[in-house]
Amino acid sequence: MIQELHEIQAASGATFAELTTKEIVPVSFGNDAEAIAATKQGAALYDRTHWGRIQISDSDRLRFLHNQSTNNFNILKPGQGCDTVFVTSTARTIDLATAYATEDAVLLLVSANRRRQLLELLDRYIFPMDRVELTDLTDTTVAFSFLGPESTQLLEKIGVTELENQPYATHKLINFAGMEVRVAVGSGLATPGYTLIAPASDAANLWKELVQAGAVPIGDRVWEQLRIEQGRPAPDFELTDDYNPLEARLLHTITYDKGCYIGQETIARLNTYKGVKQQLWGVQLSGAVEPGTAVTMGEEKVGKLTSFTETESGFFGLAYIRTKAGGEGLKVQVGSVSGEVVNVPFLSS
């Protein structure tokens, strides 16, 4: 089923690569400049099928997820959703996930390289009395995201009008061209857009219909550039055992008055006592530099570069910067290149 999707993508110019997690993804459609332009002026289409989709069902599902991550699940109604962070017992970041509550389940969209870890983690915390069932839907579903200012008009072309101006992660199950598709507000980045989740059996047809409606396909390379430019933290780069969600500036995912959950004590203490020692920022760079390079001011190390990309307007990175050193506007050195600390839209929302 996914093979048919890949054949359609290859026919329109896609080149593919294998991720460390073994998934095959379209890296580029040979149209990177056009694709980036579409995210700013039109509507681009990104294949997120390699991301994980975990379903949590049965009657204790909301309470269970409420206790496992940083956001408030107990207030979610069917058709609503939120971003949430899964953390260790000491509040170190594991993954940034998006949750969609339906009538009888919660669907989590998680990073490809955290799916197995999260399945194991969640399974470990299901106790005999819990009415909770975990199902990995990754191989039986697909996920696509629209990005760009014309995403709403594109949705209207396929008959979806109810989600315009709705809150983030609001979602609805629709019937489109004989296919059952869940459409949710939010592109996964700061760029406005929508995310679609559908059965894997409909993958090729759905992709074809969306491209025919005017969406410009983008590959993983463009997504990664946009991710870094916009400041979405990613596992193994910004989300690791070295950092917590407050340092990653994922404040929109944290509910401080929700009560006990894994990592809650540490997060509450950091917030109460202003104990956040470093924070994630964008860095405009004068040249290319490897992730992992120290960020310095004079002789003093003040942070570390975690991601790097080259954009049409220059070199750019994400870095954790010591809070005491400062923030936006700070002039720094990153290895042999100079840099200026800037804000990024994903972390400003």
pLDDT in tens, 38-83: 999 999 999 999 999 999 999 999 999 999 999 999 999 999 999 9
Residue pLDDT, tens place only, 308-335: 999 999 999 999 999 999 999 999 999 9
Dihedral sign for Cα atoms in the order 106, 109, 112, 113: negative
Q: What contacts 28, CB < 8 A, 6 or more positions away?
A: 14, 15, 219, 220, 221, 222
Q: Say yes or no to pLDDT of 349 above 80.
A: no
Query: With bands split at pLDDT 50, 70 and 90, how would you rate the model's confidence at 158?
Result: confident
Contact call for residues 161 and 106 (beta carbons, < 8 A): no
pLDDT of the residue at 209: 96
pLDDT band at 20 (very low <50, low <70, confident <90, very high): confident
Q: Is the pLDDT of residue 132 over 80?
A: yes
1 band by pLDDT with thresholds 50, 70 and 90: confident
If 0-12 CB within 10 Å is exposed, 13-18 middle and 19+ buried, where does residue 21 land?
Answer: middle
Q: Is 87 helix (H, G, I), strand (E, B) or coil?
A: strand
**Alpha-carbon gap, residue 86 to 109, rounded angstroms:** 12
Q: How confident is the model at residue 86 (pLDDT cuts 50, 70, 90)?
A: very high
CA distance 7 to 5: 5
CA gap 20, 25 in Å, rounded: 11
Q: What is the pLDDT of residues 208-230, one digit of tens each?
A: 999 999 999 999 999 999 999 99
Contact between 181 and 206 under an 8 Å Cβ cutoff? The reply is: yes
**343 versus 273: which is more confidently predicted?**
343
Instruction: Give the pLDDT score at 273.
Output: 84
Backbone angles phi, psi at 341, to 5 degrees: -75, 130
Q: Are strands 52-57 and 105-110 parallel, antiparallel or unpaired?
A: antiparallel
Whole-number Å distance between alpha carbons of 312 and 303: 26
Q: Does residue 182 register a pLDDT over 80?
A: yes
